[in-house]
Structure 1
Amino acid sequence: MTEAARMGWIRHGITEWNRLGKIQGVTDIPLSKEGEEQARRLAVRLIADGDRWDGIYCSDLKRAHRTAEIISERLGIPLVTDSRLRERSFGQAEGTTLEQRVSEWGENWRANVPDQESDDEVRARGHDFVDDFLLRHQGQSWLIVTHGSFLARMLQSLCEDLTDSHLQNVSLTVLERPANSMHSNWTPLLHNCTLHLAEPSTKR
């Protein structure tokens, strides 16, 4: 009997722009030192949990790739980069704070920024990735390191009843899909979990 497919979705660690409240989108901001420490803490947690992870996919943007690289090295699993996992393009809004966005486009700025990638476009490339994943990795468990807005759209699309909560940096969400399932929905086993951030520092 074929085993279920499992995906462990991870939002990248924190960056300086995250700390300043600036929206990043496809602007290629590196992971901060704090973000690197967050990734190490998640890797320690994953090892302690004892679950099998066959590999890790990540966005091609630096902040996600570095997060995945740290986890990959600690777990000793292969790392694959896929541009379909990159963050939504926010167009003119990239590099702005919330105050600046509200001033320019109003309280409903998310709907009013003229040159950003749409929800439908984000979901289309996300589902293209997931469809490929199921063809290649049915019965396997892989970690997926990506970005907040992209991940929020994907989780809502894959799990109809999942709470639409703000996804924390380096949070872990685990989804499972039974083999030969007749429907496309995934079952959430864990959502937006950051318990590993409460653990002691990994620095010696």
Structure 2
Amino acid sequence: MYSSLLQRAKHTAHIISDSIYIPVIEDFRLRERANWGDIPDQTFDEFVALWDKCTQERDYVPSQGDSARMAGDRLALCLSDISFKYPESSTIIVTHGGLITDFLINVISESELDQVHPNFIHLQTCLVKECSITIVSFEKDHFTLIDFANTSHL
């Protein structure tokens, strides 16, 4: 099990970890593209405006953080590294909704994403609910989306 370093993800990861008796490995690559508080004195409204700009302009790099494309590439590399390290295992990743959609937009075609949810790219910021589960497989250097933002367990 791997987790983002942010407290909200670590807390969730440890709840899961305690129930299935596996350790949590924190990985810096599982952070969001940007977080409120990364820029000193940034208001929440300023953060939301920055987030929206990064979402609309996937190659825009904020003064603190990564572009949406860079963040998606970072998660793809992290997942492929983990897959190569544990080729016969399933892995639990506890990360953030924005990073998940950044990743999916990078590795899954827009037409496939629109089958999951119409107008996926435009609506991406509101599609991943807290504690939802997205399942992705990685085989032969290819990611396949199995299930997206499932909340049936809640």
TM-score normalized by the length of structure 1: 0.56
Partner of 1:168: 129
Question: Would you say how many aligned residue pairs link Structure 1 and Structure 2?
Answer: 133
- Shift in CA distance, 109/185, structure 1 to aligned 2, threshold 3 Å: same
1:81 maps to which of 26, 29, 32: 26
Give the alignment's TM-score, normalised by structure 2. Answer: 0.72
Identity percentage of aligned residues: 29
More contact order relative to length (CA 8 Å, sep ≥ 6): 1
Bigger radius of gyration = 1
Answering whether residue 151 of structure 2 is matched by residue 190 of structure 1, we say no
Give 2:68's aligned amino acid.
Answer: D
Q: CA deviation at 1:128?
A: 2.5
- Please name the residue that 2:63 is paired with: 115
- Which of the numbers 58, 61, 68 marks the counterpart of 2:13? 68
Q: CA 1:77/1:119 → structure 2, altered by over 3 Å: closer, same or farther?
A: same
SS at match of 1:139: coil
Give the 3 Å change call, closer, same or farther, for CA 135–114 of structure 1 in structure 2. closer
Q: Which runs of 5+ in 2 are unaligned?
A: none
The one of 93, 98, 105 equivalent to 1:144 is 93
Alignment partner, residue 9 of structure 1: none
The question of whether the paired residues in 1 share the 8 Å contact of 2:4 and 2:95 is answered with yes
Q: CA deviation at 1:87?
A: 1.3
Separation of aligned partners in 2, 1:69 and 1:177 = 25
Report the residue type matching 2:13 in the other structure.
A
Give deviations 1:153-177, integer Å, cap 9, x for gaps.
1122233222434111111011123
Q: 1:186 to 1:78 in 2, by over 3 A?
A: same
Q: 1:158 aligns with which of 95, 107, 120?
A: 107
Question: CA RMSD, aligned part only?
Answer: 2.7
Q: What is the DSSP-based 3-state SS (H/G/I as helix, E as strand, rest coil) of the residue aligned with 2:88? A: coil
